[in-house]
A = this chain, B = another copy of it.
Amino acid sequence: MHFGLEGSRSLHGMTSRTMLSKNTLKYLTSLGQKKYRDRHEVFVAEGPKLIQDLLDAGLEVEALYSTDLGVFSDVTADLISAAELKKISNQKSPNMAFAVFNRKTNTALKEEGLILALDSIQDPGNLGTIMRLADWFGVHHIVCTQQTADCYNPKVVQASMGSLARVQLHYLEDLPAWLAQTDLPVYGGFMQGDNVYQTALPQDAVLVMGNEGQGISQEASAVIDTKLSIPNFGMGQESLNVATATAVLLSEFKRSIEK
What residues make up the interface of A, taking CB atoms closer than 8 Å to B? 57, 125, 129, 132-133, 135-139, 159, 161-163, 165-166, 195, 197, 230-241, 243-248, 251-252, 254-257, 259
By the criterion CB–CB under 8 Å, are A166 and B136 in contact? no
Contact of A133 among B57, B132, B137, B240 (CB under 8 A): B240
Contact of A233 among B137, B239, B247 (CB under 8 A): B137
Q: Which residues in B have their C-beta under 8 angstroms from that of A252?
A: 251
Q: Which residues in B have their C-beta under 8 angstroms from that of A239?
A: 161
User: Measured between C-beta atoms, what is the minimum distance from A105 to chain B in Å?
Assistant: 18
8 contacts between A and B (CB under 8 A): A129-B244, A133-B241, A138-B233, A138-B234, A231-B259, A232-B259, A233-B257, A245-B247
A248 to B248 alpha-carbon distance, docked (Å): 5
Q: How many copies does the complex hold?
A: 2
A174 to B236 alpha-carbon distance, docked (Å): 30
Task: Kindly report which residue of chain B lies nearest to residue A255, judged by CB atoms.
Answer: B197
Contact of A166 among B138, B234, B240, B247 (CB under 8 A): B234
A234 to B116 alpha-carbon distance, docked (Å): 14
By the criterion CB–CB under 8 Å, are B166 and A241 in contact? no
Q: What 9 additional pairs, Cβ within 8 angstroms, besides A129-B243, A139-B234, A241-B243? A: A57-B236, A133-B240, A133-B244, A138-B234, A161-B237, A166-B237, A197-B256, A197-B259, A244-B247
A162, A231, A244: which has the most chain B beta carbons within 10 Å? A244
- State the 8 A-B residue pairs at the shortest beta-carbon distance, nearest first: A138-B233, A231-B259, A244-B247, A135-B237, A247-B247, A197-B255, A248-B251, A135-B234
Contact of A259 among B195, B248, B257 (CB under 8 A): B195
Task: Kindly report which residue of chain B lies nearest to residue A256, judged by CB atoms.
Answer: B197
By the criterion CB–CB under 8 Å, are A136 and B234 in contact? yes
A132, A231, A237: which has the most chain B beta carbons within 10 Å? A237
